[in-house]
Amino acid sequence: MKILVPVKRVVDYNVRIRIKPDGSGVETDNVKMSMNPFDEIAIEEAVRQKEAGVATEIIAVSCGVEKSQDILRTAMAIGADRSILVRTEAGLQPLAVARILKKIVEKEQPDLVILGKQAIDDDANQTGQMLAAMLDWPQATSVSELAIENGKALVTREIDDGQETLSLQLPAVVTADLRLNEPRYVTLPNMMKARKKPVETTSPEELGVSVDSRLKTLKVTEPAARSEVQMVPDIATLVSRLKNEAKVI
């Protein structure tokens, strides 16, 4: 079976972000960009399914600027067979990405789409669910275990008070949680091999998808700053401050 894995290029998770002085967004010029960490887990899972003989082909897809090709190369170095870049300069929201992915799914006919549960830039946690809805496929979000058997996906989800196991009829959409796996390191020989793998380029226009949105970001601001930390020399002082100053115990 075929697995499709959408991946997103985001500001690296170790970067301390800066807000643009005009409040229009977060500075992304000259900032280290990487594959969204949850998407790395999604790719790793697809590759493991292929290594287990369940999947036959893995296609990585990314929507965004030309530079998103870099993370498609990373996906192919991890083990994706080929990739698709949906090139656009437009700022995409989850609804638009889901519309694009729906077109790709209709064309490629995968049995399973594995996404990250959320991107660490917009923290939306929507795209997988929206795609599943548009395709009228079942979904499982925040998945920490995945087994494919007899045309079904047996998935364990991380939920607020523990874990839940569901059975999904394939085709299906699942989104990866942190605990699904530990992504492998990309080795230099695999990076070299990935350069030879094919990247097909298309655009929302070519796919006939509108990326318009009726959601507008009016401004982006710093969160309210906390007052500076007061270091205390011993537990007696700490308890006295918590009782008399902060009045929390």
Partner 1 sequence: MSILVIAEHDNQSLKNSTFNTVSAALLCGQDIHLLVAGCQCKSVAEEASKVSGVSKVLMADAASLEHALPENMARQILAIAAAYTHILAPATSSGKAVMPRVAACLDVGQISEITRVISEDTFERPIYAGNAIATVQSEDTIKVLTVRTTAFPPAEKSDSAVPVENIAAVADSGKSSYVSSRTDKSSRPELSSAKIVVSGGQGVGSAENFRLIEQLADKLGAAVGASRAAVDAGYVPNDLQVGQTGKIVAPDLYIAVGISGAIQHVAGIKDSRTIVAINQDPDAPIFLAADYGIVGDLNELVPQLIAALD
* Residue of the chain from 34, 36, 129, 202 that contacts partner 1 (CB under 8 A): 129
Using rule CB under 8 A, residue 220 touches partner 1? yes
> Shortest Cβ distance from residue 73 to partner 1 (Å)?
25
Nearer to partner 1, 83 or 126 (CB): 126
Using rule CB under 8 A, residue 149 touches partner 1? no
Q: Quick one: how far is CA 77 from the chain centroid?
A: 17
> Shortest Cβ distance from residue 182 to partner 1 (Å)?
9
Neighbouring C-beta atoms of residue 184, cutoff 10 Å: 15
* Residue of the chain from 74, 83, 139, 181 that contacts partner 1 (CB under 8 A): 139
> Shortest Cβ distance from residue 195 to partner 1 (Å)?
31
Q: Do the strands 82-87 and 57-64 form a parallel or antiparallel pair, or are they unpaired?
A: parallel
Question: Which of these segments, 46-54, 76-84, 115-123, 185-193, binds partner 1 (CB under 8 A)?
Answer: 115-123
Using rule CB under 8 A, residue 111 touches partner 1? no
* Residue of the chain from 57, 111, 145, 158 that contacts partner 1 (CB under 8 A): 158
> Shortest Cβ distance from residue 126 to partner 1 (Å)?
4
Axis crossing angle, helix 69-78 with helix 188-196, rounded to the nearest 10: 120
Site mask for partner 1 (CB under 8 A), range 2-21, x = bound: ---------x-x--xx-x--
CA distance 21 to 26: 9
> Alpha helices of 57-93 — where are they, by DSSP H?
69-78
**Considering all CA atoms of the chain, what is the largest pairwise distance in Å, rounded to the nearest integer?**
68
Q: Do the strands 33-35 and 9-11 form a parallel or antiparallel pair, or are they unpaired?
A: antiparallel
Residues near 243 by beta carbon (within 8 Å), at least 6 away in sequence: 249
Q: Decide if 10 contacts 121 (C-beta within 8 A).
A: yes
Using rule CB under 8 A, residue 248 touches partner 1? yes
175: which strand partners?
115
Using rule CB under 8 A, residue 219 touches partner 1? yes
According to DSSP, residue 19 is labeled B
* Residue of the chain from 65, 111, 167, 184 that contacts partner 1 (CB under 8 A): 167
Please give the residues from 28 up to 87 whose contact with partner 1 meets the rule CB under 8 A: none
